[in-house]
Structure 1
Amino acid sequence: MTKASGFGAVSCPCCGGAMTRDMLDALLRQAREQGYELPSERAWHSPSPIIDPHAHMISRTTQDYEAMAAAGVVAVIEPAFWLGQPRTNAGSYLDYLSTILGFERFRASQFGLRHYCTVGLNPKEANNEALAEAVMELLPDFMLKEGVVALGELGYDEQTPLEDRYLRAQIELAKEGDLPILIHTPHRDKKRGTLRTMEVLAEHGFPARACVVDHNNEETVESVLERGYWAAFSIYPQTKMGKARMVEIVRRYGADRIIVNSACDWGVSDPLAVPKTAALMRERGIPEEAIRKAVYGNALAVYGLNGEMREEHWRDGAVIDQRELHAGNSVLRGGQAPRIERAQSVFDDAGRA
């Protein structure tokens, strides 16, 4: 391991030779398995449970799942979105949705997390009319599947007529299926796009109590809260929302209808953004009740509306059995020893977190 890779040399305690990143990772993993609590885990581990309600885990590693569980994350929600490049046909959408409902749900369980998802046609790909029409035919079946807690991410990207058409069509679909909605607000011209989205939702009579408006910042939060929507914030390096800014938003507006997420994906992002933000809130004097709402209770309230996501799923601690298979596949490779254990519950005997 060299300084060019961002690290200084670390000497092996046995022979004094330089340790590689793989060697260090193996040593840290063994320490965790033996019950040692590492300093970074002490700093970020939450005394109450955490839900990350926006995490694109299909693009993350098993080590991310392990780190999230160690930091107190009990459940994740994976919103359907684009892959970083345009899909070319509806079959790729079918396989993608099947994966986040199937293997990814299984993969999370192998490391102690409950996994849920949202399904939908994202605004970027709504501009491909042929693809959009084909995906709209798929969605009614996927909406009914186990683990689906909302329709999303829906909304605007460039705020085109096609984006508007399919946003409206999916709002009506969510109404028919009695599902909450997760809204993606545009990265460009965000305030106008956010206000326009809420106007469309109101035109269609969609209840604000069942709608999460995500990727908020200081210029949108007040408008979203005033209209009764859940206001979600993505804690993302250098963009979207930072941890310190998030603390100040909770200090100013309180935690009612505020939701914190990582939006971690295939880009530069942090799957531990939610526990790190909770730790900073705690350090800067935000009351524990408010922290719990922002990183757990509010997400459970809205995404639990259709009954697919319930606290009882993780109350007694996750059962981890890495001997299990999904469609004949394991998360392990030849020679790796399976974990078989019940993770410790974050709740006390009286059922309090």
Structure 2
Amino acid sequence: VANQDGNANYNAASWMPILTTVHKANQTITFGTAPSLTYLGSSGTLSATASSNLPVSFGTATPTVCTVSGTTVTPVAAGICNITADQAGDAHHSAASQVTQTITVAKANQTIIFDSAPSLTYNGATANVTATASSGLIVDFGSTTPTVCTVSGTTVTPVALGTCTITADQAGDANYNPAPQVTQNITVNKADQVITLGTAPNLTYLGYDGTLSATASSGLTVNFGTTTPTVCTVSGTTIAPVAVGICTITADQSGDANYNAAPQVTQNIVVNKANQFITVGDIPHGLLVQAPVTVSAVASSGLEVTFITLTPQTCQVSGTTVSVATAAVTTGTCRISAQQAGNENFKPAPWVMQTINIGDGSFCTECLPSRGGWRAILGNFPQ
């Protein structure tokens, strides 16, 4: 209201009301320092002040990157998080103009952990390598030693003996940084090998040499030897019989840079007894009943030949001497067998039978040996 009380000259004026509009005050919002945010990391705390000192409300314009509850901002994905700040005003203050704060949600770091290394053997089966990234993303494998091992996907193939170095990488994605590369060393071990013997040769005492055969699964050359040198000898792949008995052959493969030595294998070969035959000598011309006959024969073995009478009623044998059984025997047939019983190295020889005709000496023309054996006349011949 407006009034005037007057003075010595003026009466008091009538009062009059005056109407005036009082406007609300404007206000502004100022953000505090933005929090650091990382994908899958901790939430952050937002701060802002209004010039009115009234409380500020926060929101997000990028809910796929971050969410807001009260003053708490939570990262949802890597990217740009836009925070809005508002103050609606009150009876004395107008609503503040909305302001925004941009916060970068950083990519998360990740690590790779290898699982247990597989066993690898030269020329052996392939194996699988496994590793996990803390991000859950797929890990890629490689080899820094391609002359020792190669990698395809998760499959590692041994190529040679040595240390196989496997690399594991994860390149990251929209939310994850690339993982630091990690490596795993795997020893490619020597391969085992086995020896397979071939068919044993037939061996006979004083017979032909034989040829040994065997193969190693490695393809390496097999070496032969003998543990019975008194029965057989070995040179290279040639086996020579020395005596009758069991010849034990050893087969070895000592391995190389890629293969372990093979377990020794043995092969028993029977050296059979040799055959022998008897060759008889000629009967002397001119035989007398009263005079013994000397017979002869040799065995191919060199062993002594034994003579046996097959007709003891007409003749008898002592050593190599054949005579009539008694003085009364003047005619008939004397059959002599030449025998060799064999020994540890020779089989018995087939018998050779010799026939001697006993007579009075009148048919001396038959005194010559026949083709079938000994055939002679044992009788009285003119002096």
| Common fold by TM > 0.5 | no
Normalised to the residue count of structure 2, the TM-score between the two structures is: 0.14
Alignment TM-score, normalising by the size of structure 1: 0.15
Q: Greater relative contact order: 1 or 2 (C-alpha under 8 angstroms, separation 6 or more)?
A: 1
